[in-house]
Amino acid sequence: MEETMSENIRRATAHATHSRSALLPLLRRLHFYIGLFIAPFIFVAALTGTLYVLTPQLENWLYQPQLFTTSTGPDRPLAAQIAKASSVMVPDAKIAAVRPAPQAGETTRVMFSSADLGASETRAVFVDPKTLEIKGVMTVYGTSGVLPLRTWLDYLHRNLLLGDFGRNYSELAASWLWIAALGGALLWATSRAPRRPPAQDKLTRARRLAGQRRWHTTLGLALLLGLVFFSATGLTWSRWAGDNISLMRNHFGWMTPALNTALHPEPAAMEMPVDEHAEHSGHMEMSHHAASSAVSQASVTPAQFDAVLSAARAAGIDAAKLEIRPSYLADKAWTVSEIDRRWPTQVDSVAVDPQSNAVKDKVEFASFGLLAKLTRWGVDAHMGVLFGVANQLVLALFGAGLCVMIVMGYRMWWLRRPQNGQISPLDTLLGCWQPLSLSARFLLLVVTAVLAVCLPVMGVSLLVLLGIDIWRWRRAVA
């Protein structure tokens, strides 16, 4: 009986070893295809993302006349600042939000909605809070309030300035990045390179290839955790996979708590969960007035802002950076939100009745669930704002390292290219698929189908890669 058990263990071990050895060529070929066909998109996403996180200081210097002031003295009432900003806009311009000057030496930002602006964009008037001087008028973007330079870089990083269709490029990059990173680590762990031969006078093609592979692998392992993080957080911003992630979070109750702005409890108003990616995905609602015409409208005057702000301060909204959003609907409260995304995070918000200045609801970051907090921190870390300059430098190092690693990958491909132009059938996905056992094939098909449903852009691109592979297969066996 002991001999039978030993034989069964030997066979099981041999089967597992065979399955693992058969899977590695398939993984290696997939890693190669990702590097050859998907890496250009990853390179562009990494490069534009690196430029984006390095520009806040440049933006402060470039737009210094609008953002800063040297005036001294007491601040004028917020109502006077808003009235001054409104005087330079068209009469029917509606106030979308107001950001009081965070500290001495900075300007107040009064943002107006306009039909000629894109999603999440407003026209900001910068006012000196002490002299009421208009310092400038610019288009700003999102809850981060980024100015034109970073807005352009944001669009470039997100969609290559191609609109919604261009968003598929960044989703393609994020969908494959984690697979390339983890697959490369697995290949390294299971295929350790032999010791280098003694140094030779002549640097042969094989030695150059070995050196490039060594640096490529070292960079990949050093950046592994960051690459998986960027891929995961990037997918939450994406169009197709991002919707699936939002559905999953909503199903399991992992969404960020929403502020209830309903002033009348009956009928009960349904509040939409907070979208942490609103400013980066282009779907942030900038004002409340675009609602059903059946709801009575409310007037918004500059004089209301001081009282609403005082009520919010009394309710515990104590961050220097905050934003006041008025409502143009009679049954909706105004919102006052902290917008300081640095550490410690200050993103509390309150709903204030503009008629009575009573606080109707409050949402505190401290009460967020763990998943909601991690999402908030992940989004802010991805954008380079969580830990200030340190966050920027880390992202820049990871982005630059990823770009260098991709260039090295192409160098390796060039050194390994077939010299005679011949292709072996084993150098295709189909060729690597043939030796797999039926159980391994079934498991791979199930995993691939699940990933293709969850990450649709990855699924479609995989079909394209398979089409290329079939063409190469037929060419190889012809």
pLDDT-derived band at 254, boundaries 50, 70, 90: confident
Residue 41, classified by CB atoms within 10 Å of its CB into exposed (0-12), middle (13-18) or buried (19+), is buried
Phi first, then psi, for residue 452 (nearest 5°) are -65, -35
Picking from 236, 267, 265, the residue whose alpha carbon sits closest to that of residue 249 is 236
Whether residues 346 and 297 fall in one domain: yes
Does position 264 have pLDDT exceeding 60, yes or no?
Answer: yes
Residue 218, CA atoms < 13 Å, CB-side half-sphere:
7
CA distance 225 to 178: 9
Is the CB of residue 341 less than 8 Å from the CB of residue 276?
Answer: no
Last residue of some domain: 367, 399, 432?
367
pLDDT at res. 61 = 95
Whether residues 268 and 363 fall in one domain: yes
In a domain, residue 34? The reply is yes
Domain that holds residue 282: 69-146+257-367
pLDDT-derived band at 50, boundaries 50, 70, 90: very high
Mean pLDDT calculated for residue range 336-356: 95
Lowest mean pLDDT among 174-188, 211-225, 253-267: 253-267
Give per-residue pLDDT as tens, 198-237: 455 456 777 888 888 999 999 999 999 999 999 999 999 9
Instruction: Give the sign of the dihedral formed by CA 388, CA 389, CA 390, CA 396.
Output: positive
Residue 400, CA atoms < 13 Å, CB-side half-sphere:
9
Percent of the chain with pLDDT over 90: 70
pLDDT at res. 201 = 46
More confident site: 142 or 466: 466
Does position 192 have pLDDT exceeding 70, yes or no?
Answer: no
Whether residues 218 and 261 fall in one domain: no
In a domain, residue 383? The reply is no
In a domain, residue 153? The reply is no
Whether residues 363 and 261 fall in one domain: yes
Give per-residue pLDDT as tens, 265-283: 654 444 556 666 655 554 4
CA distance 55 to 383: 11
Paired tokens of 96: 């979308």
pLDDT at res. 196 = 55
pLDDT at res. 202 = 52
In a domain, residue 151? The reply is no
Whether residues 40 and 78 fall in one domain: no
Whether residues 77 and 128 fall in one domain: yes
Whether residues 35 and 180 fall in one domain: yes
Q: How many domains does the chain have?
A: 2
Paired sense of beta strands 349-352 and 359-363, if any: antiparallel
Lowest mean pLDDT among 93-107, 125-139, 198-212: 198-212
pTM across the whole model: 0.88
Picking from 368, 284, 369, 372, the residue whose alpha carbon sits closest to that of residue 97 is 284
Whether residues 26 and 168 fall in one domain: yes
Give per-residue pLDDT as tens, 372-418: 999 999 999 999 999 999 999 999 999 999 999 999 999 999 888 77
Lowest mean pLDDT among 8-17, 94-103, 319-328: 8-17
Last residue of some domain: 367, 398, 414?
367
